[in-house]
């Protein structure tokens, strides 16, 4: 049986990399939507929102108000 992680206080503050890891786990069939939600203390609609965001380039996987990383060479756009 997998070890349960502590439920997050606010999953919207999770880094994009952590959100992406859950979406990839779901996409690869390693766990079910309900299983991931239970294991990480998340609501199923939150995971569905992240899943939808991953298909649109992943911008919605970022924290609210944060844009994608910019190149140091190019600077702000």
Predicted pLDDT of residue 9: 64
Domain of residue 43, residue span: 14-60
Predicted pLDDT of residue 61: 59
Helix axes 33-40, 16-27, angle to 10 degrees: 150
Residue 74 lies in a domain: no
Q: What is the pLDDT of residues 17-75, one digit of tens each?
A: 888 898 888 888 888 889 999 998 899 888 888 888 776 555 555 555 555 555 445 55
Residue 33 lies in a domain: yes
What the block records as the tokens of 72 is 């140091």
Residue 25 lies in a domain: yes
Predicted pLDDT of residue 38: 92
Predicted pLDDT of residue 71: 46
Per the structure, how many domains does the chain have? 1
Residue 69 lies in a domain: no
Buried/exposed code over 20-54 (b: 16+ C-beta within 10 A; e: otherwise): bebbeebeeeebeeeebbebbebeeebbebbbebb
Above 60 in pLDDT, residue 1? no
Predicted pLDDT of residue 53: 77
């Amino acid at each position: 049986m997998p070890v349960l992680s502590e439920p997050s206080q606010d999953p919207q503050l999770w880094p994009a990399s952590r959100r992406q890891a859950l979406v990839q786990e779901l996409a690869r069939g390693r766990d079910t939507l309900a299983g991931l939600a239970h294991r990480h203390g998340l609501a199923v609609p939150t995971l569905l929102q992240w899943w939808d965001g991953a298909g649109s380039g992943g911008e919605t996987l970022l924290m609210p108000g944060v844009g994608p990383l910019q190149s140091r060479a190019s600077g702000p756009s």
